[in-house]
Amino acid sequence: MKIVGIAACTSGIAHTYIAKEKIVRAAQELGFEAHIETQGTIGTEDEVTPEQIREADVALIAADIKVGGKERFKGLPIVEVPTEAVIKAPKKLLLTIQGKVMKN
């Protein structure tokens, strides 16, 4: 499964980067591919590319605030969760998403 997405928290610092790291690490351990950009106080980092979006199976938004650029994911299933859900159980979340995406 190929995942693209955004991580963002209210302060744009700690939880943003922790969520991104948890998603990427869990994806690697499950044999998935994940490209997650961060949006925060210093702007957008590691912005997902149009090619990554075209190849993706799902968009994952792990955010506690409103994020910009979700329209880029039009046509993909979009899953939105708080950063806490990703931080607490990233593998479980990704497997749940896989189950739902592969059904459709």
Contact 77, 59 (CB under 8 A): yes
Contact 83, 63 (CB under 8 A): yes
Question: Does 44 qualify as catalytic in the annotation?
Answer: no
Q: How far is CA 50 from the centre of its chain?
A: 15
Of the residues 9, 24, 34, 97, which is catalytic? 9
Helix or strand holding residue 72 (H, E)? none
Q: What angle do CA 16, 92, 6 make, to 5 degrees?
A: 30
Active site residues: 9
